[in-house]
């Protein structure tokens, strides 16, 4: 196949036709087939099965069964769905549970980990981590007075995680290492087993944020001997806006760690209404308050779909889509000033690709408002293209690239000013 | 009207016919008109408007508008709905926000309050408080080492809050007083202004749990000079199972208090992705992580309905229903061994009535499984009857009492054993 043929729309259609997973797209509610949605790493699409399930949860479970539904599935939902996510992430069904938000779970696990490493005062992280995760660490440190120091190891290029520098920074004062497994901007993905092993050699615990990894890259929590992890369910797991997050505590650590937010759902016998808290056994005592059932129930069909397809096949498709996109970028976008801001090695890259451009902000506005392309923008100059292998297609990526070209070649983006207003 | 007439079914029907608020019941999804639902103080019924709204939130806002919905109402929902709850609770629109669960919010506000009262080491509460709230206090105290002491003032009779003993226990070591405004078992309701004034005289802060008060009794947070409050939205506000809770921070305290769980939604400019946390102004910095939108959106129609009817009219109806129920209890249930476990003074009682009985557990099982009455049970011997003035009727209460009589008079409850199994 010649260069121009490889870059044609018909080639994209051929690639879609040849892949049996292309039909997974039909499992989602898609009201506008012309919209190219590349923000599934921020909010995943609505699975059809979720819409059906929610009608039942609302109308029958809440409306008709009322409070009886707590005994008919609601109470065990956090464990049941957590167990399924465990299968995706290489963890036991008794090691993951759904609860709260990623931020609250990170607060709980980092607090618990610090308490389990008395005499150590350093929290190690990198500058590619979610700012939100850094904020939680700062809140914990501030609340504890001067006891803890947060050491933020910088990335050399803003793309690749500073794995070597982190290893070198580990010492006998390191209480824990906490990182985004797949970082939110560039999509760089750490070697979880290698970092964990180094942390353990130094006597430190690890807390992984899997928000951009769950449902997009294979993870083996138990295999990597990871200690603790958190992550959200509304990106590649398609659990719905702000859906409850998950938390992982390795089985042998569960009894030793204490949840600072010790609420009634984590109590051994919640319906005894005893005056003193006795933690439930296992993962259960990391729960705090009553879970938001509508949002919690919505998580399950998306997880089921990933399990049905299988993480390996999804990852393989994600890599083929991403490599195809990078091939298009090189031929069609690089000449227009777009730079690749993600690792070129697929083994170290999650399921999104970031492109930089001097006019990224205005290009992004033009794409959203006038070109029916929905990417994501991260300041100052980063257009992030989430490639969700369950519903994005080669044809999606082909047209996204052509529309990005059009916005730049025609100088269409100049219709917007830096504040986001249309100026012409 | 003679005694027997006052206790007749036709009298109940007359009372319903005479009250214009009886029609509010039609605003709810009621699939089985014969089911007497008296557990609205655990999980409120599904408003019809909520079912319609959720269909739109799921199908259009998530399914079609996707990530754009964050800018089209999702981000501001916590403030918008919080402001409406503020109107119910005598607080400014900028003093209440929806976030997390009641337990997590209590953790945040108690932690913040303790940090604002350095040198004081006592947390004052009572033994009628939610065990869950006590657990949260215990977790905070345990996590802080030996710094804090929780003093649980006992109720003299298990029904009335120990208001006088609490006042006497206040001293210069008291950092804060935290109580359920309406207590979960007996329904006793504190005089918020009086307790708060006493706490302030001692230099302490107050944290009120309004879970059983919101939507059931009039509350004037600003009028009482209350400092801090939390509460759930799934009881009398009919917000749905596990719906996000609210938190209140009095305007002049907002800048001085810090949220220990400092997540990205509480950051001044969440989309700047700056590496260091700067708290947002006002109530906003008490937010932590991304809110569960489906469960959050579901709160609004229930709150709107309470606002539409008006808290005063609802309270007046709640009192008439409760007084009617107590009249029936006295004539029909007291002779069968049922004791009143709630205050007889309506001014000191929320919107539920608790009855004790030596065989309460088995009576409760028979009511649920065989008599189409759904009350609530609290160990060891407490049948709790939630009277939700928006949808419970005089006729409901009449039939509930008659069915309770039947279960005892016919010794029907003896078909159950103490473990809840049917034995005959």
Inter-chain CB proximity B62 and A240 less than 8 Å: yes
Concatenating the DSSP letter of every residue in B298-315 gives THHHHHHHHHHH-HHHHH
Of A46, A103, A276, the CB nearest to B261: A103
For an interface test with A, give the residue of B98, B107, B133, B292 to mutate (most A CBs within 10 A).
B292
- Tell me which residue of A46, A389, A64, A96 sits closest to A243, measured CA to CA: A46
3-state secondary structure at position A242? coil
Nearest Cα of chain B lies from the Cα of A67 at a distance, in angstroms, of 6
Q: Of B257, B286, B308, which residue sits at a domain end?
A: B308
> Is residue B343 assigned to a domain?
yes
Count other Cβ atoms within 10 Å, centred on residue A310.
12
For A129, name the nearest residue in chain B, comparing CA atoms only: B275
A191 is catalytic: no
Q: What is the mean pLDDT of chain B?
A: 96
A34 secondary structure, DSSP code: T
Question: Could you tell me if A151 and A191 lie in one domain?
Answer: yes
Question: What integer best gives the mean pLDDT of chain A?
Answer: 96
End of a domain among A283, A308, A333? A308
Confidence of residue B1 (pLDDT cuts 50, 70, 90): low
DSSP string computed for A304-343: HHHHHH-HHHHHHHHHHHHHHHHHHIIIIIGGGT-EE-S-
Provide the CA B404 distance to its chain's centre, in angstroms: 25
What is the tally of structural domains in chain B? 2
- pLDDT at B398 > cutoff 70: yes
Say whether pLDDT at A277 is over 70: yes
**Domain termination residue (choose one: A249, A275, A308):** A308
Q: Are residues A291 and A179 in the same domain?
A: yes
DSSP state letters, A156-218: SSSSS--HHHHHHH--TTEEEEEEESB-TTT-BB--HHHHHHHHHHTT-EEEEE-TTTTTTS-
Q: Are residues A78 and A110 in the same domain?
A: yes
Average the pLDDT over each of A116-125, A153-162, B141-150 and give the range with the smallest value. Answer: B141-150
pLDDT digits (tens, 9 = 90+) for B352-382: 999 999 999 999 999 999 999 999 998 889 9
Euclidean distance between CA atoms B139 and B188, whole angstroms: 26
pTM above 0.95, yes or no: yes
Mean pLDDT of A343-351: 97
Residues B27 and B90 in one domain: no
pLDDT of residue A424: 67
Q: Please, which residues bridge with residue B248 across strands?
A: B96, B229
Residues B22, B123 share a domain: no
Domain of residue A109 covers 50-308
Q: How far apart are CA B1 and CA B250, in angstroms?
A: 50
Task: Answer yes or no: is pLDDT of A155 > 90.
Answer: yes
Question: Tens digit of pLDDT for each residue in A357-405?
Answer: 999 999 999 999 999 999 999 888 999 999 999 999 999 999 999 999 9
Q: What is the pLDDT of residue A273?
A: 85
Lowest mean pLDDT among A56-70, B69-83, B124-138, B260-274: B260-274
* Mean pLDDT within B148-174: 98
* Mean pLDDT value across residues B388-399: 98
Higher pLDDT, A261 or A6: A261
B2 has pLDDT over 80:
no
B181 and B231 part of one domain: yes
Which of B72, B294, B419 best tests the A interface by mutation, with the highest count of A CBs <10 A?
B294
ipTM score assigned to the predicted complex: 0.97
Q: What gap in Å lies between CA A211 and CA A229, rounded to an integer?
A: 10
To which H or E segment does residue B78 belong? helix B74-88
- The residue from A84, A167, A185, A384 that is catalytic is A384
pLDDT at residue A272 in the model? 84
A346 has pLDDT over 70: yes
Residue A39 domain-assigned? Answer: no
Angle at the Cα of B233 from the Cα atoms of B92 and A68, rounded to 5 degrees: 175
Which of A37, A188, A190, A234 is catalytic? The answer is: A234
Report the pLDDT value the prediction gives residue B251, as an integer from 0 to 100: 98
Report pLDDT for B418. 76
Q: Please check the confidence at residue B165 and state whether its pLDDT lies above 90.
A: yes
What is the percent of chain B where pLDDT is above 90?
93
Is B405 part of a structural domain of the chain?
yes
Give, to the nearest 10 degrees, the angle between helix A299-309 and helix A74-88.
30
Indicate if A249 and A349 belong to the same structural domain: no
Report the C-alpha gap between A413 and A381 in whole angstroms: 14
Shared domain for B371 and B240, answered yes or no, is no
* DSSP-based three-state secondary structure for A36: strand
Per-residue confidence (pLDDT) for residue B146, from 0 to 100: 80
């Amino acid at each position: 196949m010649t260069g121009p043929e490889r870059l044609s729309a018909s080639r994209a259609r051929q690639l879609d036709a040849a892949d049996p997973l292309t039909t997974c797209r039909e499992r989602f509610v898609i009201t506008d087939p012309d919209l190219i949605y590349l923000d599934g790493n921020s909010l995943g699409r609505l699975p059809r099965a979720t819409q059906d399930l929610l009608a039942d949860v609302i109308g029958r479970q809440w409306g008709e069964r009322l409070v009886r539904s707590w005994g008919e599935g609601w109470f065990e939902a956090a464990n049941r769905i957590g167990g399924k996510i465990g299968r995706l992430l290489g963890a036991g069904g008794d090691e993951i549970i759904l609860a709260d938000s990623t931020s609250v779970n990170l607060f709980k696990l980092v607090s618990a980990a610090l308490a389990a490493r008395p005499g150590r005062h350093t929290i190690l992280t990198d500058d590619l981590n979610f700012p939100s995760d850094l904020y939680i660490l700062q809140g914990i440190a501030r609340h504890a007075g001067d006891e803890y120091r947060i050491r933020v190891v910088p990335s050399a290029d803003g793309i690749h995680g500073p794995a070597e520098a982190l290893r070198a920074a580990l010492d006998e004062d390191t209480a824990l290492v906490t990182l985004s497994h797949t970082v939110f901007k560039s999509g760089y993905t750490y070697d979880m087993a290698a970092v964990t092993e180094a942390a353990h050699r130094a006597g430190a615990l690890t807390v992984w944020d899997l928000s951009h990894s769950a449902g997009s890259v294979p993870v083996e929590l138990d295999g990597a001997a990871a200690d603790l992890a958190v992550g959200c369910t509304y990106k590649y797991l398609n659990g719905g806006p702000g859906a409850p997050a998950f938390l992982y505590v390795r089985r042998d650590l569960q009894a030793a760690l204490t949840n600072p937010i010790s609420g009634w759902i984590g109590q051994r016998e919640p319906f005894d209404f005893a005056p003193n808290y006795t933690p439930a056994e296992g993962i259960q005592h990391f729960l705090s308050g009553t879970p938001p059932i509508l949002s919690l129930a919505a998580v399950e069909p998306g997880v089921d779909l990933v399990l049905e397809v299988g993480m390996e096949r999804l990852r393989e498709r994600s890599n083929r889509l991403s490599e195809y996109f990078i091939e298009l970028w090189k031929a069609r976008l690089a000449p227009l000033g777009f730079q690749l801001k993600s690792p070129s090695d697929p083994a170290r890259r999650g399921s999104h690709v970031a492109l930089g451009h001097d006019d990224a902000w205005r290009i992004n506005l033009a794409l959203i408002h006038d070109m029916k392309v929905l990417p994501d923008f991260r300041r100052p100059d980063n257009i992030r293209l989430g490639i969700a292998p369950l519903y994005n297609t080669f044809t999606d990526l082909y047209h996204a690239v052509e529309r990005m070209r059009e916005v730049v070649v025609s100088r269409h983006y100049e219709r917007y000013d830096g504040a986001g207003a249309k100026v012409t």
